[in-house]
């Protein structure tokens, strides 16, 4: 029997952080001071300290939505993001459920990362390749 997902929605965001999008749109939110050291240790084969787990609440027009943003480091400079939406403050068991599903989600979505999207964020002087002999 499969356990029902604790979240009500999730989305793969590619290299676009949900939290940065909230900042860019001046949307009010709060990040909780939840600590997940135990999960980083328990699931060190899936997530590491360069990856991020941030949980918060988004408030708009008197409505509240809880979220967890997962950022998985894919290169030295970039992370790939997933956002999970909850109808309540996610607890550690909820985050553990998310972590347990990450490997299959990453495999399913890695092909959706558009290298040209990453290239567009480089300054002009950094674009293009150069061979050094």
Over the stretch 6-50, which tens digit does the pLDDT of each residue have? 999 999 998 899 999 999 998 889 999 999 999 999 999 999 999
Q: Check residue 110 and report its DSSP letter.
A: G
Give the pLDDT confidence score for residue 130 in this predicted structure.
44
Pick the more confident residue, 131 or 7. 7
Tokens (6 digits) for 130? 């150069």
Kindly provide the b/e burial profile for residues 44-81, where b requires at least 16 CB atoms within 10 angstroms of the residue's own CB. Answer: eebbeeebbbbbbebeeeeeeebbbbbbbebeeebbbb
Alpha carbon 85 to its chain's center: 12
Q: For position 113, what pLDDT does the model report?
A: 55
Which range among 55-59, 70-74, 77-81, 122-126 shows the weakest confidence by mean pLDDT? 122-126
Q: How far apart, in whole angstroms, are the C-alpha atoms of residue 131 and residue 133?
A: 6
pLDDT, position 62: 83
The percentage of the chain sitting over the pLDDT mark of 90, rounded to a whole number, equals: 57
What are the boundaries of each domain within the chain? 9-123
- Is the separation of the CB atoms in 47 and 95 below 8 Å? no
- Position 131 confidence tier, pLDDT thresholds 50, 70, 90: very low
CA nearest neighbour of 83 among 5, 25, 7, 29: 7
Question: In this predicted structure, what is the pLDDT of residue 21?
Answer: 94
């Amino acid at each position: 029997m499969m356990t029902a997902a604790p979240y009500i929605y999730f989305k793969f965001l590619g290299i676009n952080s949900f939290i940065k999008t909230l900042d860019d749109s001046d949307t009010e939110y709060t990040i909780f001071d939840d600590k997940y050291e135990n999960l980083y240790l328990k699931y060190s084969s899936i997530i590491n300290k360069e990856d991020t787990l941030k949980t918060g609440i988004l408030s708009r027009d008197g409505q509240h939505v809880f979220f967890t943003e997962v950022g998985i480091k894919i290169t030295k400079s970039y992370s790939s993001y997933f956002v999970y939406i909850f109808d309540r403050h996610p607890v550690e068991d909820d985050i553990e459920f998310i972590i347990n599903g990450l490997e299959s989600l990453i495999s399913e979505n890695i092909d959706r990362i558009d290298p040209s999207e990453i290239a567009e964020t480089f300054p002009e002087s950094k674009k293009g390749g150069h061979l050094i002999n």
